[in-house]
Structure 1
Amino acid sequence: MAPMLYSLYGFAIFFFIFWCGKWVVHLIALFYGRVKLHKKIIQHPVEVPYPGVSILKPLMGVDPHLFGNLESFFTMSYPTYELLFCIEDDIDPSIMLVKRLQEKYPNVDSKIFIGGERVGVNPKINNMQPGYRAAKHELIMISDSGIRMKEDTLLDMVHHMKDNVGLVHQMPFSSDREGFAGTLEKIYFGTVQARIYLAADFVGVNCHTGMSTIMRKALIDEVGGIKAFGCYLAEDFFFAKSMTDRGWRISICSQPAWQNSGICEVNSFQARLTRWAKLRVAMVPYTIVFEPLSECMVIGGIASWAVSFLFNLDPLVFYLVHILVWFLLDWILLSIIQNGSVSFGKFDFVVGWLFREFSGPCLFVRALWDPVIQWRTRTYRLKWGGIAEELKPKVKV
């Protein structure tokens, strides 16, 4: 019995320490978010001009918000930048939309690249390759179609490109949208994702999501350009890893990325989270153990057993207090990320928060159960290390 008792003590101590560590992450995110985010950058005349930025915009299809999202790039307050629209299919309806914006803003330097170039399995890299090759500025920005910019967002990002920084990215967040799906997205990006993102940036760990990113083009060219990352589906993670491996820092800017896709549905959002989980497991295998333990309901239940075993505390009372405090800190963090009042009520937050917390572990199990990734019309299988191979549909004879 003694060896088993020692093992139980060991597990209990480990889970209790891990639980304490999660509260440290909460506190780091709250204080760092308050200090880091939503700082107003004022554009002053300087002797050294601001560096030019080449903005790659990979597009596929049109949603109800696309025109407004793209227009926000034509109206940015930044001295020198170019817009490089990359579209895979020559009959894509986004082409006409971009041409309308070019006619509306003729003074903005913009070009359209159609057809892409196959340099790997990643369709986004393939789509952007012609635009990247034509980019003429020292900074390169990759921005997803669903991102909406403020006038000073680009200035804010370049402001954070210090001499020792190779990559600046925006912390993912969500625009105000109606419906339960919009509430769910905002809760996820303003709590779970924000907590990890802020804590990772504070300690200098790679937690890069490349929906809105600026990089030093020379550093990407050193390793062969963006086509060198075409073998990965999560090219954003490996962009950042390439920088940190060579001693460069990565940093978030003070403005979160405003995701504003016109398609907002619970099923599509959960499919997106499941795909991200599959990528994390392939790239960082210890995610299999630590990610489920990071969930509120899971770590709370295990920690309740641990404190009951170690300190003879009531596990049910401990579990309920754990959930309540976690919930309150998430509400405070969301308010910090939002920089004001959220667009939904407290009851909506309670329902959305509980739904997210209970569904999160289930989505992770689903990701482990089926590692194949569906991305638009294509199917991929991931190998350890994040390298992907495209699965071609079987031809019936």
Structure 2
Amino acid sequence: MFPMIYTLYGFAIFFFVFWCGKWVVHLIAISCGKWKLYRKIVPLPPEVPCPGVSILKPLMGMDPNLYSNLETFFTQSYPLFEILLCIEDESDPAIMVVRRLMNKYPNVDSTLFTGAAAVGVNPKINNMHPGYVAAKYELVLISDSGIRMKEDTLLDMVSHMTAKVGLVHQMPFTCDREGFAAALEKIYFGTVQARMYLSADFLKIVCHTGMSTLIRKSIIDEAGGLAAFGCYLAEDFFLARSITDHGWKTCISSQPAWQNSGICEVRSFLARLTRWAKLRVAMVPFTIVLEPLSECMVLGACASWAASFLFNLEPCSFYLVHILVWFLLDWILLSIVQNGSLPFSKFDFVVGWLFREISSPYLFLLALWNPAIKWRARTYRLQWGGVAEELNSKL
């Protein structure tokens, strides 16, 4: 009897302390978002030349917004950069888009690479490798095909690359688009992802995605070059960890990474979230416990039981207040990340927020049930530690 009581008290205290910690994370994210995002760019002194930047753009397939997204890289207000456009298949229709832009902006230093190198199982690394080898500048920006940039984005990222920083990354967010799927994506990246990103940056925890990342090439070359990370699907995580292991710092820039894919569907977005969950479980196994417990609905239920057990509080009322406060803090954080009026109504936010919170535990269980990862036309199996093995070859 007594050991059971002690066990229950132990669980109740753990849940309640963890619940209190999540509110600290909320406040850290809101404070950091207000402090770090959309800050005025401090230009380099006139006597300091701007370092050159090699922009790596791995491309595959056609997207309705591909032309307009790529064009924002050709129009950067930065004095010295090159664009290295990498396409795996020589029959890929994206080549036509690239050639149109290269002809439209002949004064921009741009090169098209076709044909991937076989340096690992990661198709993105294989695709980028020829461009990476040819890069002529010390700073290399790896940017996904669906990213859109403002004219001063590159300058903003370079201004954060101070003497002790080896990697500058942008916090993922989305451009304003129409439809429920677009609203759902914006809510996720402006609440869950932003909370994790901003608090991790404050606590100096490696937590970044490779959508838009500026790195020092010399550090990566010292670690074996880009090919050394071809055995991982989550190459961005291991790139960042390698840089910090070499004694360098990472930081986020003041502008977010504007995702602007022209294909926006609920099903594909949920599949994307499931794939990311599989990667996190393989790379950091303790997320099997901590990640579900970090979700609003799950943590609220555990904390409600703990508050009832420890303090004799009414659990239903506690649970409802918990959800309401979490909802309001997410609204505040999303408004900070958006830095302007949202493209949907408060009702749309309520529906999208509830859908995201309710579906998240199911998606995590789905990721645990089927750990195989499908990425475009390939299927992979992850080993503990994040090393990937391809199960089927692309036809």
* TM-score, L = length of structure 2: 0.99
SS in 1 for 2:303: helix
Q: Give 2:272's aligned amino acid.
A: R
Question: Within 2, Cα distance between the matches of 1:85 and 1:378?
Answer: 22
Give the Å deviation of 1:247.
Answer: 1.3
Question: Within 2, Cα distance between the matches of 1:287 and 1:388?
Answer: 18
Question: Within 2, Cα distance between the matches of 1:286 and 1:341?
Answer: 38
Give the Å deviation of 1:70.
Answer: 0.1
Q: Deviations 1:91-129 (Å, cap 9, x if unpaired)?
A: 101111111001111110000000011100000000001
What is aligned with 1:56?
56
What is aligned with 2:245?
245
Q: Deviations 1:325-383 (Å, cap 9, x if unpaired)?
A: 00000000000000011100000000000000000111000000000000000000000
Question: Within 1, Cα distance between the matches of 2:187 and 2:97?
Answer: 31
Contact in 1 for aligned 2:233/2:386 (Cα 8 Å): yes
Question: Within 2, Cα distance between the matches of 1:230 and 1:42?
Answer: 36
Give the Å deviation of 1:176.
Answer: 0.5
Give the Å deviation of 1:177.
Answer: 0.7
Question: Within 1, Cα distance between the matches of 2:380 and 2:6?
Answer: 45
Q: Deviations 1:270-310 (Å, cap 9, x if unpaired)?
A: 00000000000000000000000000000000000000000
Matches within 5 A, 1:1-397: 1-43=1-43, 46-392=46-392
Q: Give 1:303's aligned amino acid.
A: A
Q: Give 1:151's aligned amino acid.
A: E
Q: Deviations 1:19-77 (Å, cap 9, x if unpaired)?
A: 00000000000011000000121535521201100010000011110000000000011
Give the Å deviation of 1:229.
Answer: 0.2
Give the Å deviation of 1:154.
Answer: 0.5
Q: Deviations 1:211-241 (Å, cap 9, x if unpaired)?
A: 0000000000001110000000000000000
Question: Within 1, Cα distance between the matches of 2:81 and 2:265?
Answer: 34
Question: Within 1, Cα distance between the matches of 2:162 and 2:365?
Answer: 40
Q: Deviations 1:237-273 (Å, cap 9, x if unpaired)?
A: 0000001111111100000000000110000000000
User: Aligned residue pairs: how many?
Assistant: 395
Contact in 1 for aligned 2:378/2:393 (Cα 8 Å): no
SS in 2 for 1:391: strand
Question: Within 2, Cα distance between the matches of 1:334 and 1:121?
Answer: 36
Question: Within 2, Cα distance between the matches of 1:86 and 1:204?
Answer: 32
SS in 2 for 1:141: strand
Question: Within 2, Cα distance between the matches of 1:336 and 1:217?
Answer: 33
Question: Within 2, Cα distance between the matches of 1:251 and 1:265?
Answer: 31
Give the Å deviation of 1:392.
Answer: 2.2
Q: Give 2:54's aligned amino acid.
A: S
Question: Within 2, Cα distance between the matches of 1:391 and 1:315?
Answer: 47
Question: Within 1, Cα distance between the matches of 2:280 and 2:43?
Answer: 38
SS in 1 for 2:96: helix
- Runs of 4+ that moved beyond 4 A: none
Question: Within 2, Cα distance between the matches of 1:43 and 1:102?
Answer: 28
Q: Give 1:52's aligned amino acid.
A: G
Question: Within 1, Cα distance between the matches of 2:242 and 2:259?
Answer: 26
Question: Within 2, Cα distance between the matches of 1:2 and 1:14?
Answer: 18
Q: Give 1:383's aligned amino acid.
A: Q
Q: Give 2:289's aligned amino acid.
A: V
Question: Within 2, Cα distance between the matches of 1:37 and 1:318?
Answer: 33
Question: Within 1, Cα distance between the matches of 2:371 and 2:263?
Answer: 25
Question: Within 1, Cα distance between the matches of 2:45 and 2:315?
Answer: 61
Question: Within 2, Cα distance between the matches of 1:314 and 1:392?
Answer: 53
Question: Within 1, Cα distance between the matches of 2:287 and 2:261?
Answer: 28
RMSD: 1.1
Which shows bigger deviation, 43-52 or 264-273? 43-52
* TM-score, L = length of structure 1: 0.98
Contact in 1 for aligned 2:377/2:394 (Cα 8 Å): no
In structure 2, the CA distance between the partners of 1:136 and 1:324, relative to structure 1 (3 Å rule), is: same
Give the Å deviation of 1:394.
Answer: 12
Q: Give 1:282's aligned amino acid.
A: A
Contact in 1 for aligned 2:44/2:50 (Cα 8 Å): no
Give the Å deviation of 1:312.
Answer: 0.2
Give the Å deviation of 1:162.
Answer: 1.0
Question: Within 2, Cα distance between the matches of 1:132 and 1:51?
Answer: 17
Question: Within 1, Cα distance between the matches of 2:245 and 2:223?
Answer: 12
Q: Give 2:10's aligned amino acid.
A: G
Question: Within 1, Cα distance between the matches of 2:16 and 2:45?
Answer: 53
